[in-house]
Structure 1
Amino acid sequence: MSLLFEEIDSQNSPLGVISLRKRRMPAFGDRDIFEVKLGDEFLMSSMFVEAEEALSDLGLAAVKADKDLSVVVGGLGLGYTAVASLKDTRIKEQLVVDALDTVIGWHQNEQVPLGKDLNADPRNRYVHGSFFDLATAPATGFDPECAGKKFDAILLDIDHSPTEYLNAANASFYTTENLSLMAEQLKPEGVFAMWSQNLPEPEFEALLGTVFSSVTSHVVPFYNPFQGGESTNSVYVCIKGR
């Protein structure tokens, strides 16, 4: 029988102390719940993964190419977006970019349940680096083994929303200039998709429209047992012009 609470790991990071925890809540069934905290702030929980998976499903559904897709996942988290992405049989390679080597280590060492799935799939590769730095440097780009590579899709789940940031320095990414630099790394008709904890924000949709030929926002509902009802996140899906 699992302990009701266990702190699996806790380490300093450039953003503060980041910790991986596991707990059981008998009222929510016979399962382990994994959580990540940064300082006193909860970043993610395996109880709420529907929108993280929808980020992959909705983003990749908008990709027109029928084979050999190259995909970037920005933000590893607990691995749900990355694993959902690899269910698409069109994918040839996937780079998962994370600024925290601690989080990558949790997966490589299989301290989180989905680490085993990601490690076993030869299409998946971890990239330790700042998504935002790599996104705005198209001459080098996301792949340390192939400068300037173009991708079919970039799936982003790092900040809480386009106006609420995990790190205040990330705010500079959400401009026409820097989104355009990222879009240079997409193939023609490539897709940029992004998760947000909030409902779609019209000002951000308008900003995305200055870079992409098509912008669609999706509201993703999920059951929240703590609130006894439905909660929502959202996913923005953008398509680059030809």
Structure 2
Amino acid sequence: MEYVELARAESERGELVLRERRPEGGTPALELRANGAFVMDTLEVSTERALATAALGLVDPPRAVVVGGLGLGFTMHEVLADSRVETCAVVEIEEALVGWMRDGTVPHGPALLADERVRIVVADIAVALAEAAPATYDLVLLDVDNGPGYLVHEGNARLYEEPLLRAAHRTLRPGGALAIWSAAEAPELADSLAAVFGDVEALPLDVLLQGRDERYWVYVARTGQENSAR
């Protein structure tokens, strides 16, 4: 296996690396790593897309969507594939990653960001949700790291706790939904979501990742038709 580093950046959260993985006789893939931990690649993207499709199927119409975490753009791509979506705000804390998507270091990035419905916000998703006006979004999608059990940054633990979940609930319109990607089953997250939303569903996603059978999860919580800050 050969690895070719394409870009590297340092921030207060640590190191972010974009590299190309070149298996002998296999398909090359871009790979994103944060502080040495695998975040995602361009070969197995079904679960990033499933995060969007699972939530998009619950809300009609999903006019306004916010995606927490840009990654390599595949969740955003699935959101934009839905013609009902009028605006898609993507909140990404790593400015370097946004730059790699914009300048073509990630080859498919410029085309995705050229969609007039996209608005990129370089910020902490927790801050962005706390500052958002009530009943702003139909969908909130969170894919900022590997879930509550496999944090890329310890500070991300708060993203799966009740105060942040309540902030997300407040930003949702009646009948809206919050969907969260997780690398492993997370019963404590389900409990926290249930405490805030009441209506929670855990969706298992079986994938083949670099020759290994893996099971990821998407947790979906829906607001009632009478949505109010709790």
TM-score w.r.t. structure 1 length? 0.86
CA contact (8 A) 2:135 2:174 kept: no
Q: Which secondary structure state, in structure 2, belongs to the residue aligned with residue 218 of structure 1?
A: strand
Identical-residue share of aligned pairs (%):
31
CA contact (8 A) 2:135 2:170 kept: no
1:203 to 188, 212, 217: 188
1:220 to 202, 205, 225: 205
Aligned to 1:48: 44
Q: Deviations over 1:30-61 (max 9, x none)?
A: xx310112232222211221110100111111
| Paired amino acid for 1:97 | V
Aligned to 1:102: 96
Aligned to 2:228: none
Alpha-carbon distance in 1 for matches of 2:206, 2:73: 20
Aligned to 1:174: 160
Please, which moves more after superposition, 175-184 or 187-196? 175-184
Alpha-carbon distance in 2 for matches of 1:73, 1:83: 11
| Paired amino acid for 1:214 | D
TM-score w.r.t. structure 2 length? 0.90
Alpha-carbon distance in 2 for matches of 1:86, 1:231: 27
Unaligned 5+ residue runs, structure 2? Answer: 226-230
Aligned to 1:153: 139
Unaligned 5+ residue runs, structure 1? Answer: 142-146
Please, which moves more after superposition, 4-13 or 125-134? 4-13
Q: Which secondary structure state, in structure 2, belongs to the residue aligned with residue 111 of structure 1?
A: coil
The 1:119/1:220 distance shift into structure 2, 3 A limit, reads same
Count of aligned pairs = 224
| Paired amino acid for 1:7 | E
Q: Which secondary structure state, in structure 1, belongs to the residue aligned with residue 7 of structure 2?
A: strand
The 1:224/1:23 distance shift into structure 2, 3 A limit, reads closer
Does 2:113 align with 1:119?
yes
Shift of 1:173: 3.2
User: After TM superposition, what 4+ stretches of structure 1 lie above 4 angstroms from structure 2?
Assistant: none
Shift of 1:186: 0.5
CA contact (8 A) 1:156 1:194 kept: yes
Aligned to 1:134: 128
| Paired amino acid for 1:23 | R
